[in-house]
Amino acid sequence: MRAPSVPIVHQVRGLSDRTIAWLFIAPTMILLLAINLFPLIWTIQLSFTNYRANRPFAPLRNVGIEHYQTILSDPEIWQRMQATAHFVFWTILLQTVIGFALAYLIDRKFRGHGFWTTLILIPMMLSPAVVGNFWTFLYQPQIGLFNYVVSFFSGLAPSSFQMLGDVTLSPWAIIIVDTWMWTPYVMLICLAGLRSIPDYIYEAAEVDRASNWRQFISITLPMCLPFIMLAVLFRGIENFKMFDMVNLLTSGGPGSTTELASITLKRAAFEAWRTGYSSAFAIILFVTVFGLANIYVKALNKVKAR
Amino acid sequence: MSGATSTAHSVVAPSGRVKLLAGAIVVLYALVALVPLIWIGLTSIKTPPDSISYPPKVVPFLHFEPSIEGYCNLFNARSRQTADYLASLPPAKSDCEAITRSRSMVVVGPSNYVPRFVNSLIIAFGSTLLSVGLGTCAAYAFSRFKVPLKDDLLFFILSTRMMPPIAVAIPIFLMYRELGLSDTRLGMILLYTSVNVSLAVWLLKGFIDEIPREYEEAAMIDGYTRLQAFRKVVLPQATTGIVATAIFCLIFAWNEYAFAVLLTSGTAQTAPPFIPIIIGEGGQDWPAVAAGTTLFLIPILVFTVLLRKHLLRGITFGAVRK
């Protein structure tokens, strides 16, 4: 055991450590309080009023929990939440399966794996809004590349299906784009998980003559699980509040088939200008994300502790 | 590669065949995934009729003649004119002029792309500078000093990142309207800084934790003050970490859309809300949109290559220790 290291320098010239600590942290905290915490508290307060941001001087009325009741008993809102859940579920499933498979293959360390990995990462570095916009071009029924390729392989007429205009296809149109964009993200985290498994475990399994499949099921998957769950957590939070890509791709249409919660929120807040109502909805979404994330993190910690 | 390495250790030393198959699948995925991006690049050098032809024109020079029309239309605002008026004009001064006239239009001035692009640059670099500056100081303090409620403060800093942008956009919109910050570059810089600073603090704390305290202590024994030791010993040691953090902040601010579209309308608008609304006569001018997208993506491609080694830490807030 080493002796506990005693701080060598207690009294120095210049500012004291305590002053420096305070000076160094204060600006960041002030900024975060002003631009994050203060608006959040304001949102809570607004959610109990009938305030409308486009009529700032109209008389303000306290409506209590009316907005919350309206939202939670509105079948349309539940339908939006269902659309959101559908989107989150399928994107996470596809991204996890494909992302993990890619990571598993890249971990074979074939020649040039670094170069190809970097290329695969490009989509996730782009602006979701710009990505959404150029996919609307790829999805054009008559002229789009996507329809052309699909018809080339399937024999369907390219104008016989409209990815963005058809009520059953449009949710899948956004799922495809999101999966294209964010699979590399999941892949990267899974790769970290695979690299964290020490080689000697596999060597021991080889000595025991465990088959490749057996090794995969009893070593690779369980040891990678915390990482996979972390990727699911990050993607889940992001996709629950997904706005930019969907706003550009379908802006909620056709009808309201791809109207995810954040699109509804934007419409209520910045098109209908029902500020009080939308604040209540924002708080409900916020509480939902936090609640689900907290339950999930507890599960994640259990897996980690195993 | 050789037969000698293909022992029973399947993962420790995968056999040549396994590697080849794995490589082939990954390369195939990468090529398919890059098709949309390549397509945007190709569309940017097509004429509008070529861009919407069916079947699609793929190979430049073979299937279509490359054209700078998309880039001309991106940078210039045009207006339709009568044939008589076009015939009365002096000869075109540039290729862009000539192309525009061949479509029965004249160039009436620059488009808004350059100002929007400049806004993106100013806001992205401004907020990056500010968030890395604030983040480095805060990270140093959290790494080295006893701060009351340290863990709670660090968690609060991280949690600000989980807020859906639309949820805070409403009160920020109201607040900015009161303060005269709406649709200003300063307002956007402050906003993006507040989003980025949480990432900066967490990433940089990790980097600074790895620099041994003994370095500063030695410098202070030599007569440096704490601040001098920070500036002359810690900062140089943390340079790689600071650069990586800066690029992450840049990428976020460069790509951000939700706040930009809700809180800016003109003077401070960045490129992401602008590119989708580039409209030609009779609908979307796809080559111009593709040109705007291509130019906008180039910095990100460069950053991706620069950043590839640090990517993991950045996207996971250091939650995954590497």
What ranges do the domains of chain A cover?
Answer: 8-46, 66-304
| CB pair distance less than 8 Å for A24 and B140 | yes
Domain match, B251 and B179 both: yes
At the fourth CATH level, the homologous superfamily of domain A66-304 is MetI-like (1.10.3720.10)
Residue B171 belongs to a domain: yes
Sign for the pseudo-dihedral over CA of A250, A186, B262, B128: negative
Q: Which of A13, A180, A230 sits opposite B320 (nearest CB)?
A: A230
Q: Which of B35, B157, B166 sits opposite A262 (nearest CB)?
A: B166
CB-side exposure of B282: number of CA atoms within 13 Å? 4
CA distance A245 to chain B (A): 9
Cα(B59)–Cα(B69) distance, integer angstroms: 17
Residues B217 and B148 in one domain: yes
The pLDDT of residue B10 is 46
Q: Give a yes or no: residue B106 inside a domain.
A: yes
B40 vs A134, A180, A188: nearest CB? A134
State whether residue B276 is helix, strand or coil. Answer: helix
Is residue B67 located within the same domain as residue B138? no
Gap between the Cα atoms of A207 and A215, Å rounded: 12
Same domain, B129 and B250: yes
Query: Best interface-test mutation with A: which of B64, B163, B303 has the largest number of A CBs within 10 A?
Result: B163
How many Cβ contacts (< 8 angstroms) between chains A and B?
Answer: 304
Closest approach of A5 to chain B, Cα-based (Å): 10
Same structural domain, B66 and B211:
no
pLDDT band at B136 (very low <50, low <70, confident <90, very high): very high
- A269 to chain B, closest Cα gap in Å: 7
Percent of chain A scoring above 90 in pLDDT: 65
Dihedral sign for Cα atoms in the order B299, B305, B309, B311: positive
Residue at a domain's end among B111, B144, B163? B111
Structure confidence at residue B281 as a pLDDT band (50, 70, 90):
low
Nearest to B163 among A12, A36, A188 (CB): A36
CA dihedral B53, B44, A134, B296 (to 10 degrees): 180
- Total structural domains within chain B: 2
Interchain pair A125, B140: CB under 8 A: no
Asked if residue B285 and residue B218 are part of one domain, the reply reads: yes
Best probe of the B interface among A11, A15, A25, A284, by most B CBs < 10 A, is: A25
Is B97 inside a domain boundary?
yes
pLDDT digit string, tens, across residues A189-214:
999 899 889 989 999 999 999 898 99
Mean pLDDT (chain A) is 90
- Contact (CB, 8 A) for B79 and A168: no
Any idea which residue has 């695979």 for tokens? A194
Which CATH number fits the domain that encloses residue B205? 1.10.3720.10
Among residues B88, B111, B134, the one where a domain terminates is B111
What is the ipTM for the molecules in this complex? 0.89
The beta-carbon neighbor of A9 closest among B138, B145, B221 is B221
pLDDT digits (tens, 9 = 90+) for A11-66: 456 788 889 999 999 999 999 999 988 998 999 999 999 999 888 888 889 999 99
- Whether residue B101 is found in the same domain as residue B216: no
Residue A304, both tokens: 């980690």
The Cα A85–Cα A28 span in angstroms is 35
Per the CB < 8 Å rule, is B141 touching A20?
Answer: yes
A185 pLDDT band (50/70/90 cuts)?
very high
Residue B140 lies in a domain: yes
Digit-coded pLDDT (tens) for A109-126: 888 888 999 999 999 989
Same-domain pairing of B139 and B175 = yes
CB contact under 8 A, A130 and B293: yes
- Across the interface, of A36, A127, A195, the residue whose CB is closest to B255 is A127
User: Which structural domain, as residue segments, surrounds residue B98?
Assistant: 46-111
Span A230-250, average pLDDT: 91
Cα angle A199, A202, A204; round to 5:
110
pLDDT, residue B322, reads 41
Residues linked to residue B106 through DSSP beta bridges, in sequence order: B79
Determine, for residues A38 and B175 on separate chains, whether the beta-carbon distance falls below 8 Å: yes
Q: Please tell me the distance from the alpha carbon of residue B126 to that of residue B193, in angstroms, as a whole number.
A: 8
Q: What percent of chain B has pLDDT over 70?
A: 93
Quick: pLDDT tens for B1-59. Answer: 333 333 344 445 667 888 999 999 999 999 999 999 999 999 999 999 899 888 889 99
| Top-confidence residue, A303 or A67 | A67
Residue B191 has pLDDT above 90, yes or no: yes
Closest Cα in chain A, distance from residue B304 (Å) = 7
Of B43, B227, B301, the CB nearest to A20: B227
**Which of A99-108, A292-301, B13-22 has the highest average model confidence (pLDDT)?**
A99-108
pLDDT > 70: percent of chain A = 96
Confidence of residue A6 (pLDDT cuts 50, 70, 90): very low
Nearest CA in chain A to B215: A8
The pLDDT value given to residue B3: 37
> pLDDT higher for B48 or B160?
B48
Measure Cα distances from A108 to A65, A251, B25 in Å.
Answer: 57, 41, 12
The answer to whether the Cβ–Cβ distance between A285 and B289 falls below 8 Å is no
The reported pLDDT for the residue numbered B282 is 62
Q: Which residue has the higher pLDDT, B313 or A112?
A: A112
Compute the residue count for chain A.
306
CB contact under 8 A, B40 and A105: no
Inspect the interface and report whether the beta carbons of B54 and A148 lie closer than 8 Å. Answer: yes
pLDDT greater than 60 at residue B216: yes
Distance CA A146, CA A148 (A): 5
Same domain as B164, residue B269: yes
Q: Are B64 and B150 in the same domain?
A: no
Helices (H), chain B: 16-44, 48-51, 69-75, 83-88, 95-102, 113-144, 150-159, 165-179, 185-209, 213-221, 226-229, 235-237, 239-255, 258-263, 271-274, 286-307, 311-315
Q: Which residue has the tokens 């699109």?
A: A263
B interface test, pick of A46, A95, A116, A130 with most B CB neighbours within 10 Å = A130
Tell me the C-alpha distance between A261 and A241, whole Å: 7
Same domain (yes/no): B141, B271: yes
Are residues B166 and B245 part of one domain?
A: yes
Q: Which residue of B has its CA nearest to A185?
A: B315
pLDDT, position A17: 87
B166, pLDDT greater than 60: yes
